[in-house]
Amino acid sequence: HPQKTRAFIAEGDSMIGANINDGDVVFIDTRYREPAMLEKKIVMVTVNNSTTLKRLVAFHKGNKVFYEL
């Protein structure tokens, strides 16, 4: 969806395993915000005023679902 897509330049090498290299152009679809819809997907998040790309992973503990990057 063109109005909800943003382009960014990747910096660093933390996502080489996902074939995202330093200097690559990364397109982000901003329509999806629910963690359940994004499980196992690569997401862009801001932590401590720093934006990063990571894979969102869910794990279950009892009847609760937790997400980690």
pLDDT digits (tens, 9 = 90+) for 25-46: 999 888 877 777 788 888 888 8
- Binned at pLDDT 50, 70 and 90, residue 1 comes out as low
Q: How far apart are CA 6 and CA 9, in angstroms?
A: 10
Both tokens of residue 63?
């009847």
Strands (E), the chain: 5-9, 25-29, 42-47, 50-55, 57-61, 64-68
Residues with Cβ within 8 Å of 25's Cβ and at least 6 positions away in sequence, in order, are: 7, 8, 9, 10
CA end-to-end span of the chain, whole Å?
25
Name the token pair of 32: 């999806």
